[in-house]
Amino acid sequence: MSTKPVSIAVLVSGNGTNFQAIVDAIESGRIRNAHITCLVSNRADAFAIERAKKHNIKSFVLDHKNYKNRMEYDTAMVEILQRHNVQLVVLAGFMRILSSTMIDAFPNSIMNIHPALLPSFPGLDAQQQAFDYGVRYTGCTVHFVDSGTDTGPIILQAVVPALESDTVNTLTKRIHGEEHRIYVEAIGLFCDGRLRVEGRKVTIAQQTGCATNLL
């Protein structure tokens, strides 16, 4: 059984609170068999870059404005990730839609967190969508990325009640707390080799103690 840590790349565009939660979980041992190899941002002013520096994590800035199209941009990103032997790509507030170039390079190995209970309220401003709709419950979803927008196989979900006293900000804050929890859990399951994709369903295998890629 291989005990070599799974190499993770985190893609960000902004503050990086989910990135920080993942770093903290790896350093505390809550995520085992994992190492963040690099962080990639499309924005030079993303605060997540400062977070990476504090933890001695290598970071790269790929400004999407310097590329002709999405595929050209993703080709450059794939080159960086493959050069660093990345096995799992984690989107943590990365405000770019991935092309087939990225998805084909990392099949069933790109994770995203969405601040709603998919398939409800996909796309941008999911918290506002849920709030405006008047739902009693919303939440967050960790899923694998496919060619659609927030349509990939669901790994984990967490439910958050929408209170009558809520504003969009208070609802968003509670959702964020659950995001940090289930994203860490999902990444840990991947790194322990316990996730399997069967059609649209993701199954969780019993603990084997062996870190493997998805089959």
Three-point CA angle 35, 38, 40, nearest 5°: 140
Q: Is the pTM of this model over 0.85?
A: yes
Q: Is residue 199 part of a domain?
A: yes
Whether 47 is in a domain gets the answer yes
Distance CA 30, CA 7 (A): 16
* Within a domain: 195: yes
The verdict on residue 73 lying in a domain is yes
- Marked catalytic residue, from 114, 143, 176, 180: 114
- pLDDT tens for 58-112 read 999 999 999 999 999 999 999 999 999 999 999 999 999 999 999 999 999 999 9
Q: What is the CATH number of the domain that holds 15?
A: 3.40.50.170
In the residue annotation, 84 being an active-site residue is answered as no
Domain interval for residue 199: 6-204
In a domain, 214, yes or no: no
Give the number of other Cβ atoms within 10 Å of residue 180's Cβ: 18
pLDDT in tens, 43-67: 999 999 999 999 999 999 999 999 9
